[in-house]
Amino acid sequence: MSDSDDDLLALAEVGSEVESDSISQPVKDDSSDEDDDDDNIQSRRTIKSRSSSSTASSNDGVLYPLENKYKNAEDRAKLLALPEIEREQILYDRAQEVQKHAERKYLADRMQKMSKMSKMARSAGDESTPSAKRQRGTTGVSSGTKSSLEMLKKRRAQIKRRPGVRGVDDSDDEESDEDESQDESAEESDGYSQDSGSESDVYASEEEKDTLSKQQITLSDANKLRWGRDLFGRYAQYPDFEHYVQNCFVRVNIGTNRRGEVVYRMGVVKRVVSAKPYDLNGRTVDEALVVAAGSSERQVGFHICSNAPISSSEFEYWLNTMKEAKLPVMSRRRAEQKFREIRELSKKKLTSAEIDELVTRRAKLNGIRGAGAVLVKSDLVHQREIAKASGDAQMVSEITKKLDKYQVNTASSSESSSILTKVNERNRRANVETVRRAEIQHNVERRNKKGTTSDPFSRLKTTAKMFYDSNGKVQLETDVSAEPELSIESTPLDAVDDLIASLDIKLDIVI
């Protein structure tokens, strides 16, 4: 049993002792009732004053005056010097301790107020009706004590139903997140969470609402307003979806750290925007979220929002980010109002027009192709045959219009696909021709760089080969592929002189 349960039982025992005292008194005659009641009232006042004074004196002190987390500056410096995991664990324990302290103080104040109200009601009843004392002695339980005990019982049942909070050392691995999300999704479908309606039954009075409006949200409140990708896949494209999801929390996957661990951050949903179609749990969606963490905003898809609860370290990181940005944190009263709105969404029943609009929008995003198109067409034809057999001409005309419209849409889609096929074929042929021309140009450039041309009159290179016969003589042969070298026959010079002398040349010489 936790400390808060012990406190609740202790406060309940105070009321039970008072009740037992009054019940144990035997019923006497009318002459002695007034004296006994005066003694009971005096003892009851003494017990309640002692319990209220002791409880108030124990709860008036502030546990951690500095930032509601540290005892003093020295304590803060000491904690900041510790490793991150150990520091976050200590801060989480202190936050739980502060919360328990506030609950104890609230319950003590509540008991004191209820005791004052019961005293005033009792005194007013004593003055107006003399027989009120005898009636109260027979019953033994006042209305004020009953209401306070009922409030304590409700508070205790609420604490028992409150789900456990994950520690800092719990794994943030996505596999464990998926395992935890299966149980959560079943709970969410039945009423969105385990805390359905429990808070609203307890916090009923105006004083309690004022107290909640001054307190900032806790980790359990944030998890009550958390949306995961399963909820987005279920309620996305619903009417007024943006209104319900605004100012709620998401746990966004931002990647991995240096150690390869998956890192998540807590953010507040600001608005819903249009995005490129993408897949979400086997369904196509065209919307995304604008999530804010402090003063920075980022557009994220539904598919990267985790189904697992927000951890204490992520919640503390978000609080520090909001504090650094000097932005207000949501109050517990506003969180309770937002939670009631989300419960209304889970219980909302769509009209036939809203269902038709939702189906049409999803069908437009997913598309009807292949076997689905054949099934739709065959279903329409079958319905038309049934209408013809029953003699319903109006139904036949309506189905025929739907079938014609569907065939036109199918033909237009097939025509657009055929046009795309032709364009792709034309581009493919153009690419082949471009590659062929590029290869030819490359070969020409390669030949020009080498600078070699075919010259049939150029001298060929030969390789000498040595052959040995049995007599040991060496024969030198040349390659048979070598061509003989061209030679020019030389003419003797005497023949040239004779040829010149035989020439008859007439020369006139003038002296």
Q: For the domain that residue 283 is a member of, what is the CATH number? A: 3.90.70.200
> Do 141 and 214 reside in the same domain of the chain?
no
> Do 379 and 331 reside in the same domain of the chain?
no
H-type helices in 28-139, by residue range?
30-59, 73-80, 84-128, 132-139
Which pLDDT tens digit goes with each residue over 85-111? Answer: 888 888 888 888 888 888 888 888 888
Contact 202, 246 (CB under 8 A): no
> Do 302 and 389 reside in the same domain of the chain?
no
Which pLDDT tens digit goes with each residue over 128-166? Answer: 554 444 444 444 445 555 666 777 777 767 665 554 433
How far apart (Å, rounded) are the C-alpha atoms in residues 429 and 437? Answer: 13
What per-residue confidence (pLDDT) applies to 450?
A: 67
Q: Is residue 486 part of a domain?
A: no
Q: Which of 390, 425, 460 is the last residue of a domain?
A: 425
414-420 long-range CB contacts below 8 Å, 24 or more apart?
none
Q: Which of 161, 195, 217 is the last residue of a domain?
A: 161
Which pLDDT tens digit goes with each residue over 345-359? Answer: 888 888 888 887 887
How far apart (Å, rounded) are the C-alpha atoms in residues 222 and 224? Answer: 5
> Do 205 and 245 reside in the same domain of the chain?
yes
pTM over 0.75: no
Query: Into how many domains does the chain fold?
Result: 3
> Do 103 and 215 reside in the same domain of the chain?
no
> Do 273 and 244 reside in the same domain of the chain?
yes
> Do 78 and 134 reside in the same domain of the chain?
yes
342-349 long-range CB contacts below 8 Å, 24 or more apart?
342/192, 342/225, 342/244, 342/248, 343/191, 343/192, 343/196, 343/197, 345/235, 345/238, 345/244, 346/188, 346/189, 346/191, 346/192
> Do 139 and 108 reside in the same domain of the chain?
yes
Q: What are phi and psi of 238, to 5 degrees?
A: -75, 155
Q: Is residue 190 part of a domain?
A: yes
Residues of the domain holding 157: 3-161
Q: Is residue 408 part of a domain?
A: yes
Q: Which of 290, 318, 350 is the last residue of a domain?
A: 350
> Do 124 and 190 reside in the same domain of the chain?
no
H-type helices in 165-205, by residue range?
174-191, 198-202
SS3 61: coil
What per-residue confidence (pLDDT) applies to 286?
A: 87
What per-residue confidence (pLDDT) applies to 495?
A: 67
- Burial zone of 79 (CB within 10 Å; 0-12 exposed, 13-18 middle, 19+ buried): middle
Which pLDDT tens digit goes with each residue over 43-69? Answer: 454 444 444 444 444 445 678 888 878
β-strand pairing of 283-293 with 262-280: antiparallel
Q: Is residue 60 part of a domain?
A: yes
* Closest-CA residue to 333 (of 209, 159, 248): 209
How far apart (Å, rounded) are the C-alpha atoms in residues 58 and 68? Answer: 18
What per-residue confidence (pLDDT) applies to 161?
A: 57
* Closest-CA residue to 123 (of 101, 148, 150, 142): 142
> Do 38 and 147 reside in the same domain of the chain?
yes
Q: Is residue 413 part of a domain?
A: yes
Q: Is residue 392 part of a domain?
A: yes
Question: Is pLDDT above 60 for 257?
Answer: yes
